[in-house]
């Protein structure tokens, strides 16, 4: 099988409507904003909890670099666990920022930083470096492959007892397969694997964990400036999380 790289500029000129033809980062001067509405069910053991969250994001491409920001906001809880087990949804689930440098239209490197549950006594700081590439298998299909490595720190504050910190190393990869079903509708299948290594643990402790995320989504381009999306994900780590997502993305192109 021979892979080919799409030209930097599509034949029609400007930013491509087709998902498979789009470069990894936006053209210089472009601004993109959007939001996803996510229903997620978390299943630790025999319990289950369901939440609805909103995930707004923004991207801005300056010469040589693309800047990104994202947040996750808890809206409401749709399902509680057993009567003796109460979980309250946090309004601010996470905030994050990142940057990417485009080596070419189909290759980029960057870094991402995220804080999870920043307003609680149990927060997590995550930073990682990322490298990504895109290759075209033909006029109507492509794949994106990325690898990442970094570290995280979780801090737990216990009233009257002080705080506890847990450090981890992490690394992994993600593969996205894209197929253009029509001039405006594309399907994307995604799978990612993350390996986490706990630091400063007793010798007998289990210190290595693997998380997997598998999902599919549809992207419908209203035009080159607006996309509508819908997707489904299953995350397997120390427990299972199922997510259904719908979203809208709008961009202003130079």
- Residues near 166 by Cβ (< 8 Å), separated by ≥ 6? 153, 154, 155, 156, 198, 199, 200
Predicted confidence (pLDDT) per residue in 14-38, tens digit: 799 999 999 999 999 999 999 999 9
- DSSP for 34-76? EEEEEEEEEE-TT--EEEEEEEEEEEEEETTEEEEEEEEEEEE
Q: Distances in Å between the alpha carbon of 157 and those of 87, 160, 163, 168, 254? A: 18, 9, 4, 18, 47
Enter the pTM of the model: 0.86
Q: Which residues pair with 194 in a beta bridge?
A: 172, 211
Domain boundaries, the chain: 25-252
From 6-10, 35-39, 64-68, 212-216, the region with the lowest mean pLDDT: 6-10
**CATH 2.40.128.130 at 25-252, yes or no:** yes
Q: What are 96-122's pLDDT values in tens digits?
A: 999 999 999 999 999 999 999 998 888
């Amino acid at each position: 099988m021979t892979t080919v790289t799409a030209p930097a500029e599509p034949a029609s000129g400007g930013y491509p409507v087709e998902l498979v033809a789009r470069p990894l980062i936006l053209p210089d001067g472009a601004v993109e904003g959007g939001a996803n509405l996510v229903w997620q069910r978390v299943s630790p053991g025999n319990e289950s909890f369901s939440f609805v969250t909103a995930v707004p994001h923004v991207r801005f491409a300056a010469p040589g670099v693309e800047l990104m920001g994202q947040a996750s906001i808890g809206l409401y809880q749709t399902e509680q666990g057993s009567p003796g087990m109460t979980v309250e949804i946090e309004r601010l689930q996470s905030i994050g920022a990142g940057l990417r440098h485009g080596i070419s239209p189909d290759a980029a490197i960057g870094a991402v930083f995220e804080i999870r549950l920043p307003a609680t006594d149990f927060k997590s700081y995550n930073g990682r470096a990322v490298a990504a590439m895109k290759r075209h298998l033909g006029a109507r299909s492509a794949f994106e492959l990325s690898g990442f490595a970094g570290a995280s720190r979780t801090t737990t504050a216990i009233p009257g007892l002080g705080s506890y910190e847990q450090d981890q190393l992490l690394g992994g990869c993600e593969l996205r397969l894209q197929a253009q079903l029509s001039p405006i509708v594309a399907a994307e299948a995604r799978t990612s694997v993350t390996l986490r290594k706990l630091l400063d643990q007793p010798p007998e402790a289990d210190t290595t964990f693997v998380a997997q995320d598998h999902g599919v989504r549809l992207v419908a381009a209203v035009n080159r400036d607006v996309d509508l999306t819908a997707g489904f994900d299953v995350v397997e780590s120390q427990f299972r999380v199922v997510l259904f997502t719908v979203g809208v993305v709008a961009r202003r192109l130079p």
